[in-house]
Amino acid sequence: MKFESQVVHAGDRKRERSKAIPSTTPIHLATTYFYETAETLDRIFGHEEEGPSYSRYDNPTNSALEELTTALENGHGSLATCGGMTALHLAFQAALLDRPHSILSSSSIYGATVKLLDQVMAPFEVNVRYVDMCDLAAVEKAIAGEKPGCVFLESISNPILRVADIPQIAAMTKAAGAALVVDGTFAGPMLMRPLDMGANMVVHSATKYLAGHGDVLGGIIVSDEAHHENVRMLSRIAGGTMSPFESYLTMRGIKTLALRYERQCQNARKLAECLASHPSVERVNYCADPNHPDAATIKKIFAPDIYGAILSFEIKNADKAAVLTFMNRLKMIVPGTSLGDVHTLLLYPVMASHRDVAPKMRERMGIRENLVRVSVGIEAVEDIYADLDAALRHS
């Protein structure tokens, strides 16, 4: 073999010489795969046999992550995508492929999801309507009136932390012949499994609790049997799959998910209790609050004794300038746009997650100018509270 050929082929594609199995899934960066015979490759392209052929269709590292997330959510199959919003977009498309092009969405959702619905889905003749998913009578009326192909809600709403009765809504959705898509990012599979409650697809931003360390951008769709092939088919055509390196990092992060999330939930509960009596805090939103407007639903659908690791609170008499001053005074807490990291993050919805949502719609969502959201990390809760307390007292 000449040099020009050696630099292309030498060292690659070595045949397996042993039965050794790596203890963690390696990062498979190859884009193209081949087999001992062309007939095998033909069967794989025809979906008669499992195996990778091209990385947009399948990748061994991604497949390992997908197997893991399918198990965590008790689903039929998963798809790892390059971002949470990509996952949500694909889930909507998969839901509407053979249904009326109409989405009935919760009125209390992430700001970027509002933009996805209004600026991406609606211009392609998808009818989008919003309803308070915590008002079951309103949901039933809206489903009957709109006859949607897809119903969408968040497991815990961002950032007001409302919790809808997923089993009841799933029953209504199924009776209407629609698909129920749930964004499970805030809760995660340790807190609830929407597919077990009747949802058809659950979507996660893998960037958040699954990966958990602020170093991954990715998304996950876990589907039931009826929708999984639609999801895979759309991804094979349109792409948007997660890179193998992000899949590797997400799998590594998930190994400590139970430990991280338990500590984060414990910290969040203690922090919410402390903030509730703080002289500079007007109101705290947290799912463990016995006076939470959805307390009965929370008791019904949450796993025992965990209530999530996110809270939000309103600073007394604060306008935007005062909130920004408060954020500038934080020493340990990261005033950044994300959630689910091992470190505590504080986000100002008016500035970040809901910046592009119209002020009147923000008001209807309950997002006031003095509201901040805290994604509680694994630090000592005393240090988290001390940082917030010092910033509040001087703001």
Say yes or no: 188 and 296 in one domain: no
Residue 196: per-residue pLDDT: 98
Structural domain includes residue 72: yes
From 254, 287, 310, the end of a domain falls on: 254
Per-residue b or e along 254-284, where b marks 16 or more CB atoms closer than 10 Å to that residue's CB: beebeebbebbbbbbbbbbebbeebebbeeb
From 254, 285, 318, the end of a domain falls on: 254
Q: What is the pTM of this model?
A: 0.95
Q: Which listed residue (33, 58, 165, 208) is catalytic?
A: 208
Q: Which listed residue (43, 56, 115, 316) is catalytic?
A: 56
Structural domain includes residue 221: yes
Mean pLDDT of 89-110: 97
- pLDDT surpasses 80 at 12: no
- pLDDT surpasses 90 at 7: no
329 is annotated as an active-site residue? no
- How far apart CA 40 and CA 22 sit, in angstroms, is 25
Q: Which residues pair with 79 in a beta bridge?
A: 221
183 is annotated as an active-site residue? yes
Query: Checking DSSP bridges between strand 219-223 and strand 281-285, what pairing results, if any?
Result: unpaired
Which one has a higher pLDDT value, 158 or 394? Answer: 158
Residue 183: per-residue pLDDT: 98
- pLDDT surpasses 60 at 189: yes
From 231, 254, 277, the end of a domain falls on: 254
Q: Which listed residue (118, 165, 183, 387) is catalytic?
A: 183
Provide the residue type at 154 as one letter.
Answer: E
Question: Token digits for 138?
Answer: 């309103």
Domain that holds residue 130: 38-254
- How far apart CA 240 and CA 219 sit, in angstroms, is 10
Structural domain includes residue 125: yes
pLDDT-above-90 percentage for the chain:
90
* 296-316 pLDDT tens trace: 999 999 999 999 999 999 999
Mean pLDDT of 146-160: 98
* 101-122 pLDDT tens trace: 999 999 999 999 999 999 999 9
Query: Checking DSSP bridges between strand 102-106 and strand 127-131, what pairing results, if any?
Result: parallel
Residue 98 burial class via C-beta count within 10 angstroms: exposed 0-12, middle 13-18, buried 19 and up:
exposed
Q: For residue 123, what are the contacts with CB-CB under 8 A and spacing of at least 6?
A: none
56 is annotated as an active-site residue? yes
